[in-house]
Amino acid sequence: MPLLEVRNLTIRFEGLIAVSDFSITMGEHDLVGLIGPNGAGKTTIFNMLTGVRTPTEGIIQFAGEDITKIKPYQITKKRMARTFQNIRLFKDVSVLDNVKISFNFRVKYNLFDSIFRLPKFFREEEEIEEKAINILKIFRLDNKKHEMAANLSYGEQRRLEIARALAASPKLLLLDEPAAGMNPQETQELTELIKWVKNEYKISILLIEHDMKLVMNLCEKIVVLDYGKKIAEGTPEEIKTNKQVIKAYLGDDADA
Ligand SMILES: Nc1ncnc2c1ncn2[C@@H]1O[C@H](COP(=O)(O)OP(=O)(O)OP(=O)(O)O)[C@@H](O)[C@H]1O
Ligand SMILES: [Mg+2]
């Protein structure tokens, strides 16, 4: 059974068909790139997968369940997590608390335990803190755990977003332009980190990215969107030489 099965997704926004007849299948341990020119519909696909937008047509199945009409708050519980193209952290909250908040939905203590501060509450609080720090170490942010998220550099904020998404223990992680705004060295480090995360946590990752070097180095399979339609799907080698893809990126210059 595939982890994610998306069939014939279409979404219209007042007259504009942002995504049209889009299908994709992902297994439990895949790393797939979703690429395409600006406005191609990539983020809109993430928004449909995570319940931010409801597709006009089509079906989304995740871990064997139909999640087409799911609400965003339910999606984390189903173990799908995402990062945002425009970073969305709790800016006035510490780096550590940003990650701890993500663990909360999995916590087993109930309101009774927490109001009366029973031992179970403290034990779980300690456990969460330890796990959060471990994740921060992986992302080289543990030395900044008491900083406000707003005080981190752009690259660090992007890493913190991924750390926070991982704290929700996803089976599928959706990354929307994780390298945007990073310098070449940060991007190189991020490439290694994503590879490591996928293998260590044994998860699947669907990655939107404009940095072609990162996409080509990292992804086993690449799906290309143009004007809301899938125009190609294949290995990095196949995509690099695909005429339609070259044309989508270079426009009419590709004919020259
Ligand atoms: N809420 C909305 N209402 C109307 N149109 C929208 C809305 N959201 C997105 N669109 C349009 O849908 C199309 C796809 O947008 P989307 O943000 O998914 O593209 P993208 O591939 O993520 O682009 P980029 O690489 O620039 O992030 C665009 O034409 C965009 O203007
Ligand atoms: Mg986008």
With a cut of 70, which residues of the chain have pLDDT below it? 105-122, 252-256
pLDDT of residue 110: 57
Dist CA 133 CA 125 (whole Å) = 12
Contact 30, 15 (CB under 8 A): no
pLDDT score of 114? 57
What does pTM read for this prediction? Answer: 0.91
Any atom of ligand 1 within 6 Å of the Cβ of 48: no
Percent of the chain with pLDDT over 70: 91
Ligand 1 atom with least separation from CA of 225:
21
Instruction: Report the pLDDT value the prediction gives residue 129, as an integer from 0 to 100.
Output: 92
* pLDDT (0 to 100) of residue 108: 53
Specify whether the backbone of 206 is left (phi greater than 0), alpha (psi in -120 to 50) or beta.
beta
Ligand 1 nearest atom to the CA of residue 16, by list position: 5
> Which residue carries 């809301």 as its tokens?
228
With the most atoms of ligand 1 within 8 angstroms of its CB, the residue from 44, 82, 231 to mutate is: 44
pLDDT score at 112: 60
Give the Å distance between the CA of 41 and the centre of ligand 1: 5
For ligand 1, is residue 41 a contact (CB within 6 Å)?
yes
Bridge partners of residue 148, in order along the sequence: 94
246 Cα to the center of ligand 1, angstroms: 21
Print burial letters for 171-191: b (CB count within 10 Å at least 16), e (below 16). bbbbbbbbbbebeeebbebbb
Q: Closest by alpha carbon to 178, among 67, 78, 31?
A: 31
In degrees rounded to 5, what are phi and psi of residue 31? -130, 105
User: Rounded to an integer, what distance in angstroms lies between the CA atom of residue 50 and that of residue 173?
Assistant: 11
**Is any ligand 1 atom within 6 A of the Cβ of residue 36?**
yes
Among the bound ligands, name the one nearest to the CA of residue 229: 1
Task: For residue range 94-126, list pLDDT tens digits in order.
Answer: 999 999 988 875 555 555 655 666 666 667 788
State whether the beta carbon of 122 lies less than 6 angstroms from ligand 1: no
CA distance between the termini of the chain: 45
Find out whether 223 and 246 touch, Cβ atoms under 8 Å.
Answer: no
Q: How high is the pLDDT of residue 252?
A: 61
Q: Residue 196 to residues 157, 220, 241: CA-CA distances in angstroms?
A: 19, 14, 28
Where does the chain have alpha helices with state H? 42-49, 72-75, 95-103, 111-115, 119-138, 154-167, 184-201, 212-218, 236-240, 243-250
The number of C-alpha atoms within 13 Å of 137 and in the hemisphere containing its C-beta is 6
User: What is the structure's pLDDT at 106?
Assistant: 57
Question: Residue 61's closest CA among 9, 106, 21?
Answer: 9
Q: Is 18 in the pocket of ligand 1 (CB under 6 A)?
A: yes
